[in-house]
Amino acid sequence: MAILTAPGLATGIAHAAPGAPAAPGAPAAPAAPAPEPGAKSLEQVRKEIEDLYRQAGAATDAYNLAEAETKAQSEKIVEIAKLIVAGQERITALKSRAGAAARAQYRSGGLPAGAQLALSEDPGRFLDGAGRLRQGEKAASDLLTELDRTQNDLKRYAQDASAHWATLEANRVKQEDAKKQIEQKIKTAEELENKLEAEEKARLIQLEQEAQYKAQTAWLSTGAMKDVNGTATAAGKRAVQYATAQIGKPYVWGAAGPGAFDCSGLTSQAWLAAGRPIPRTSQEQLRLLPKVALKDMRPGDLIIYFDDASHVGMYVGDGAMVHAPRPGRNVTMAGAGSMPIKAVVRPDA
């Protein structure tokens, strides 16, 4: 089984190891200028940028979850509104029936038709009238009971609507807070990156790939992939096909296609395309989808990364996964162990 190990795999470019000697006869490379006292190294900048984007990723998950909850609450409020309208129409109809019964009683001198028959001297008509009287009493009682029940339903609907409105507002506040955090973290990271010269930016990408290669190599050295040989299901194959077809599209926080994705937007849309709707965020994917042992991992399974479950990728086989990394990067392939793995979950268990 071919295991993803080579550095630069995402771009197809192999990089020489830092500090490698020049080829014989080649002119010596100019010495790098000495850093100013207190200046950060490029590796320190890389780690700082990576940390900022990770924090933005966690905030993006919070934003996406609040957005999903807001949508659910909005849909619930619409349902309640329909119930309230139907209940009000029902009360109007019941009041109309009660009014008709009252008018009929008034026209008969205060006695309903059944009571008048019951007072007849004809025994047969009396018995028949007595039965009608009981039916009339039951109908009146049922009418009042139904009216009372409908009014209680309306009261409960109003209380439910108030509760959902409160939750909706709380989710809106959470969305705004998360959005501010995301924008601030991304802005700070972009400012750090924009201060770099073109050569430094190129070197930054190289450092990212080297860090991923180092993590993947260390992960493989533990024997993590030794027993992993699961076969994708038909749905898993469709999910992998969708996810890999998005390679090259940009990461945009909060995006779920078709032109851009964040990490969980990619995985949730891939499984939706495979006919299996799953939770929108990586944290909810971890919480709600069945967990599987790493040795049982198969293509299509989702790999949740970091202790806060702030990132997710889709395993595609041969030690590789596809993911939307972060702002400024595109959907790409990477080593499954290039980041700390928290869990593996299975959408089609």
Q: What does the alpha-carbon distance between residue 301 and residue 290 come to, in Å, rounded to a whole number? A: 10
Backbone conformation region of residue 4, classed left if phi is above 0, alpha if psi is from -120 to 50, else beta:
beta
Contact call for residues 75 and 168 (beta carbons, < 8 A):
no
* Distance between CA atoms of residues 270 and 273, nearest Å: 5
Q: Exposed, middle or buried, 335 (CB in 10 Å: 0-12/13-18/19+)?
A: buried
Strand order in 302-305's β-sheet?
Answer: 291-292, 341-345, 302-305, 311-317, 320-323, 332-335
Residues in the chain: 349
Active-site entry in 77, 207, 263, 324: 263
Q: Which of 164, 238, 280, 311 is catalytic?
A: 311
Strands (E), the chain: 291-292, 302-305, 311-317, 320-323, 332-335, 341-345
The widest CA-to-CA distance across the chain, in whole angstroms, is: 133
Among 46, 54, 323, 342, the active-site one is 323
164 is known as an active-site residue:
no
Residue 249: partners with Cβ closer than 8 Å, 6 or more residues away: 259, 260, 261, 324, 330, 331
Q: Which of 216, 269, 260, 213 is nearest to 240 (CA)?
A: 269
> What residue has token string 């990067």?
329
CB atoms within 10 A of CB 219: 20
Report in angstroms the alpha-carbon separations of 141 from 80, 118, 135, 144, 146. Answer: 28, 19, 10, 5, 9
Residue type, 279: P
Q: Which are the catalytic amino acids? A: 263, 311, 323
